């Protein structure tokens, strides 16, 4: 229901926006070109929207029009827009394969001389993601988004289990939870991408970041890796033997049903991105304020070769500037990036929403905020991480992302074996 209203509201918003811009254009008789940008809905995006609102208020002659788009449809829409030369001035991406293609096709411009002092403020491990061949083609615009393990303390107290720290703990906990008819893990398998987080963490814990690096570098037969096979087997085992909630294949993330299952106490834990922290605070405030809402890092694997400090997720969302935009529009975008990105007011409102900007100069500010527990936790997680693995569906070439999703969906439903998955991915 929530989502229905959200979409209806978005629909209304877009319609009225179109009506407004039509009126505005007619009244002024054209002439001035507004820059534009597409952002997403939900999560920490309202803070970005407010940032643009403040910018527009302060810069009457450098307006940026904003449109908010639902996550799943954004990726297809932006590519079509970029391909047809109709892209918004500011192009948002998750970096990885898509950014590489934009740069290779010269659809975005080199930002190296237009980032102001940003580079010195942003964490190096995050900044690197926007680089192509030593030039900056994209700059981070919002919070670091590591994937973390959320839990419901009251469920753990009920059955008398400690929060698991190792994979052995996890296996013991699964048994106890099942005896007490509670699902150990909530999972939005119907949306498939949340299951990718499991695949990423298990692969990394088992074989380290090198296992997947071979896939990114396009090595022949790179999917045929014992760590990837281990991860797939473990996931199928979790699905069949009561690790994931038994309805996991029908649970979807776009309506935040996976988070709701955790908040309701139907499941004990949930592996999800850091943005779910704000989602739970907004949508399930009773649970968020109950003191039972907890978070921790992904368990360690006893004999795993991976560094247990490794994390997966999205370093951030990034802005690039469209090569198809007019010079005037590009200049507005450059100014916005160099003068306004991560300004004090926006950083404060991000922190208040529980989002962590990837900045090295805000430690004091973090300590002062209300959500300092979660922020300090993720700040340490990111700061101490030996490696930050970009989500696989973003890291690979865009045309590989869909088959990856399709094959993973079949793994979740037990329709194919891990060996068949590997074979199918290798044959692409």
Binding of residue 398 to another protein (CB under 8 A): yes
Contact indicator for 82, 321 with CB cutoff of 8 Å: no
Cβ closest to another protein, residue 386 vs residue 402: 402
Residue 300: what are its φ and ψ, rounded to 5°? -85, 155
- Minimum CB–partner distance for residue 15 and another protein (Å): 13
Residue written as token pair 């070439």? 397
Q: Which stretch binds another protein (CB under 8 A): 54-62, 158-166, 229-237, 248-256?
A: 248-256
- Minimum CB–partner distance for residue 379 and another protein (Å): 34
Pairwise CA distance, residues 274 & 253, whole Å? 14
Cβ closest to another protein, residue 353 vs residue 401: 401
- Minimum CB–partner distance for residue 90 and another protein (Å): 18
Binding of residue 58 to another protein (CB under 8 A): no
Binding of residue 260 to another protein (CB under 8 A): yes
The only residue of 301, 401, 411, 425 in contact with another protein, by rule CB under 8 A: 401
Binding of residue 406 to another protein (CB under 8 A): yes
Binding of residue 427 to another protein (CB under 8 A): no
Q: Which stretch binds another protein (CB under 8 A): 21-29, 69-77, 268-276, 351-359?
A: 69-77
The only residue of 76, 134, 160, 291 in contact with another protein, by rule CB under 8 A: 76
The only residue of 35, 43, 79, 358 in contact with another protein, by rule CB under 8 A: 79
The only residue of 250, 290, 386, 426 in contact with another protein, by rule CB under 8 A: 250
Of the candidates 177, 102, 185, the one whose C-alpha atom is nearest the C-alpha of residue 149 is 185
Pairwise CA distance, residues 354 & 371, whole Å? 6
- Minimum CB–partner distance for residue 174 and another protein (Å): 19
Binding of residue 418 to another protein (CB under 8 A): no
The only residue of 35, 69, 82, 268 in contact with another protein, by rule CB under 8 A: 82
Between residue 88 and residue 107, which ones bind another protein under the rule CB under 8 A?
101-102, 105, 107
Of the candidates 83, 63, 85, 65, the one whose C-alpha atom is nearest the C-alpha of residue 75 is 83
Binding mask 282-321 for another protein (x = CB under 8 A): ----------------------------------------
By rule CB under 8 A, what count of residues binds another protein?
A: 42
Q: Which stretch binds another protein (CB under 8 A): 206-214, 231-239, 253-261, 276-284?
A: 253-261
The only residue of 83, 218, 221, 285 in contact with another protein, by rule CB under 8 A: 83
Q: Which stretch binds another protein (CB under 8 A): 139-147, 256-264, 315-323, 366-374?
A: 256-264
- Minimum CB–partner distance for residue 358 and another protein (Å): 28
Q: Which stretch binds another protein (CB under 8 A): 15-23, 334-342, 356-364, 408-416?
A: 408-416
Of the candidates 264, 109, 104, the one whose C-alpha atom is nearest the C-alpha of residue 186 is 264
Site residues (CB under 8 A) for another protein? Answer: 1, 3-4, 7-8, 72, 75-76, 79-80, 82-83, 101-102, 105, 107, 189-192, 245, 247, 249-252, 255, 257, 260-261, 266, 398-399, 401-403, 405-406, 409-410, 413, 415
């Amino acid at each position: 229901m929530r989502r229905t209203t959200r979409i209806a509201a978005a629909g209304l918003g877009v319609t009225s926006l179109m009506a407004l811009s039509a009126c505005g254009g007619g009244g002024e008789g054209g002439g001035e070109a507004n820059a534009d940008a597409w952002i997403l809905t939900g999560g920490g995006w309202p803070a970005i929207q407010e940032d643009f609102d403040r910018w527009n208020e302060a810069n009457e002659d450098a307006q940026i029009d904003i449109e908010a788009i639902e996550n799943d449809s954004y990726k297809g829409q932006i590519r079509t827009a970029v391909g047809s030369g109709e892209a918004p001035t500011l192009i948002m991406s998750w970096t990885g394969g898509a950014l590489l293609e934009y740069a290779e096709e010269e659809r975005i411009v080199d930002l190296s001389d237009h980032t102001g002092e940003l580079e010195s403020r942003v964490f190096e491990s995050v900044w690197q993601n926007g680089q192509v061949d030593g030039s900056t083609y994209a700059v981070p615009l919002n919070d670091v988004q590591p994937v973390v393990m959320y839990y419901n303390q009251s469920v753990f107290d009920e059955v008398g289990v400690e929060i698991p720290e190792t994979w052995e703990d996890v296996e013991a906990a699964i048994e106890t939870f099942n005896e007490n008819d509670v699902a150990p893990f909530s999972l939005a398998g119907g949306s498939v991408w949340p299951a990718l987080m499991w695949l990423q963490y298990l692969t990394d814990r088992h074989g380290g970041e090198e296992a997947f690096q071979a896939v990114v570098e396009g090595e022949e037969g790179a999917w045929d890796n014992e760590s990837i096979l281990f991860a797939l087997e473990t996931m199928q085992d979790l699905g069949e033997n009561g690790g994931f909630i038994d309805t996991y294949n029908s649970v979807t993330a776009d309506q935040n049903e996976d988070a709701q299952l955790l908040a309701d106490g139907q499941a004990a834990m949930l592996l999800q991105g850091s943005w779910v922290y704000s989602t739970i605070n907004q949508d399930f405030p009773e649970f968020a304020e109950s003191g039972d809402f907890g978070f921790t890092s992904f368990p360690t694997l006893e004999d795993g070769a991976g560094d247990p400090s490794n994390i997966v997720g999205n370093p951030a969302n990034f802005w690039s500037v469209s090569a198809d935009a007019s010079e005037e529009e590009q200049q507005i975008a450059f100014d916005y990036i160099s003068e306004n990105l991560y300004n004090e007011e926006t950083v404060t409102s991000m922190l208040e929403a529980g989002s962590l900007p990837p900045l090295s100069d805000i430690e004091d500010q973090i300590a002062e905020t209300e959500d300092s527990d979660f922020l300090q936790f993720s700040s340490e997680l990111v700061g101490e991480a030996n490696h930050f693995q970009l989500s696989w569906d973003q890291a690979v070439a865009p045309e590989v992302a869909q088959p990856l999703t399709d094959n993973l969906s079949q793994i979740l439903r037990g329709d194919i074996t891990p060996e068949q998955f590997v074979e199918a991915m290798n044959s692409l």
